[in-house]
Structure 1
Amino acid sequence: MQFSIRRPTLPSTETHPEERLYRRLDVSTWLRHFNPSGQVEEEYKLRKAIFFGGIDPAIRGEVWPFLLRYYSYDSTSEEREALRLQKRTAYQDIQQRRLSMSPEEHSEFWRKVQFTVDKDVVRTDRSNHFFRGENNPNVEIMRRILLNYAVFNPDMGYCQGMSDLVAPLLTEVQDESDTFWCFVGLMENTIFISSPRDEDMERQLMYLRELLRLMLPRFHQHLTFLGEDGLQLLFCHRWILLCFKREFPDAEALRILCTGASVLPPE
């Protein structure tokens, strides 16, 4: 079972004053935000347009590197191309470090990281045409990105659920190195909950309890009546762990991810 986003008709007193001022960001509007040097102008207005209107699927792969801080909004076209080459070399160096592990290091890496990654990637988004079928090369690309990320950030390593976050990035960006660095930006600028017992998870649940108390008081009262188990909100843990990735159809899950990324402040 999956959820779906509904937009009921609300009186103007209950909607944000800018709710209907922005349309979905399309190709022509996106291009108008660039000056002759390739720098994004009116970055705040652009992010608001994405927050309220979303992004045309045709340009998601171009917009996300900005939202996820791979590219800075004030970078020129030439600077971005130079950055891509620099980051591609850095990514190859990370991969070479992984491939050059000693037998002892590789054995430990397999036990702590690779065993779980290998199990997860073959189960991630296989109904999506981008990952469908036996021996699909995109599955192997996703696997490499996750293994290399564990080398890049050994303190985090790999946590179950990361494959669900890499998959939509790879589907849209469709370049291994660029997707890797977009994923790095996502991980560095959002709270990734690595375990349901994590204190960050409890903080998110605390916010959710307060929202329920304010917005759905009768439901909050029902949970309170159920006692401590009710207020644990166990049915919400996966929502937070995977940014609603498995709770909505792909198109709507991507819309949620775009909206969340658009509120990240610029560097």
Structure 2
Amino acid sequence: MQFSIRRPKLPSSETHPEENMYKKLDVSTWLNHLNESGQVEEEYKLRKAIFFGGIDVSIRGEVWPFLLRYYSHESTSEEREALRAQKRREYSEIQQKRLSMTPEEQREFWRHVQFTVDKDVVRTDRSNQFFRGEDNPNVESMRRILLNYAVYNPTIGYSQGMSDLVAPILAEVLDESDTFWCFVGLMQNTIFVSSPRDEDMEKQLLYLRELLRLTHLRFYQHLVSLGEDGLQMLFCHRWILLCFKREFPDAEALRMWEACWAHYQQKEK
């Protein structure tokens, strides 16, 4: 069972004053934000448009790397190509480091990382045509990204659920190295919890409890009346860990991701 977004008609006094002012970012509008050198102009206006209107599926693979901090908005097309080449070399070095582990290191890595990754990737987004079928090279690409990320960031390593976060990026960006660095940006900048570690999850639940207390006092009081179990809010853990990806249809979940990634309320410096 999945949720679905329903937008009731509200009086203008209860909606954001700029609601319905922005259409979905399409190819034409996106190109209008790029100058002759390929730099993004009016970045804040662009982020606001993405927040309110979303991004056309046809250009997600081009726009997402900006939202995920892989590309700088000030970078030129030429600079981005140079960056891609540099990052491709860095990614290759990370992979080579993984493949050059000693037998003992390989055993430890398999026990703590690879065993879980291998189980997860074969059951992630298999209904998506991009990952469907036996011996799908895109599944192997996702596997390498996650294994290499665990080498790149051993502090976080791999936690169940990360495959759900990287799969949509790979399906849109379509390049293994670029997807890896977009995923790095996601893990560094996401507003959601990036691991199921108790202290991380508890911090997020603390924020959620306070939001409930301020915005839905009756429901908060109901949870309090249930005792400690109610305030643990176990029903929310997957929502937070996977950024609602399994709670909503893909199109709606990714639309919410884009709105969060836009960070439009962060004013221009």
Q: Percent identity?
A: 77
Q: Residue 106 of structure 1 aligns to which amino acid in structure 2?
A: Q
Spell out, residue by residue over 1:16-64, the C-alpha distance to the aligned partner (whole angstroms, 9 max, x if none). Answer: 1111211111110000001111100010110000001110011111000
- After TM superposition, give the deviation of residue 193 of structure 1 in Å: 3.6
In structure 1, runs of 5+ residues without a counterpart are none
Task: Flag the 1:50–1:260 CA change in 2: closer, same or farther, 3 A.
Answer: same
Aligned 1:250-265 pairs, distance under 5 A: 250-263=250-263
Name the counterpart of 1:225.
225
Aligned residue for 1:130, secondary structure, equals helix
In structure 2, runs of 5+ residues without a counterpart are none
Does 1:166 find its partner at 2:166? yes
Name the counterpart of 1:194.
195
Task: State the TM-score, normalizing by the size of structure 2.
Answer: 0.95
Spell out, residue by residue over 1:157-209, the C-alpha distance to the aligned partner (whole angstroms, 9 max, x if none). Answer: 111111010001001101000000000000111253422522x3222212222
Task: Say whether the 8 Å CA contact 2:193–2:204 is kept in structure 1.
Answer: no
- After TM superposition, give the deviation of residue 143 of structure 1 in Å: 0.1
- After TM superposition, give the deviation of residue 218 of structure 1 in Å: 2.2
- After TM superposition, give the deviation of residue 99 of structure 1 in Å: 0.9
Task: Say whether the 8 Å CA contact 1:196–1:237 is kept in structure 2.
Answer: no
Q: Give the number of equivalent residue pairs.
A: 266
Q: Residue 70 of structure 2 aligns to which amino acid in structure 1?
A: Y
Q: Distance in 2 between matches of 1:7 and 1:98?
A: 47
Name the counterpart of 2:135.
135
Name the counterpart of 2:16.
16
Task: State the TM-score, normalizing by the size of structure 1.
Answer: 0.96
- After TM superposition, give the deviation of residue 3 of structure 1 in Å: 0.6
Task: Say whether the 8 Å CA contact 1:131–1:139 is kept in structure 2.
Answer: yes
Aligned residue for 1:181, secondary structure, equals helix
Does 1:243 find its partner at 2:243? yes
Q: Residue 124 of structure 1 aligns to which amino acid in structure 2?
A: T
Name the counterpart of 2:37.
37
- After TM superposition, give the deviation of residue 226 of structure 1 in Å: 1.0
Name the counterpart of 2:94.
94
Q: Distance in 1 between matches of 2:110 and 2:221?
A: 47
Spell out, residue by residue over 1:104-146, the C-alpha distance to the aligned partner (whole angstroms, 9 max, x if none). Answer: 1111111111011001101111111111111111110000000
Q: Residue 198 of structure 2 aligns to which amino acid in structure 1?
A: R
Task: Say whether the 8 Å CA contact 1:54–1:255 is kept in structure 2.
Answer: yes
Task: Say whether the 8 Å CA contact 2:173–2:179 is kept in structure 1.
Answer: yes
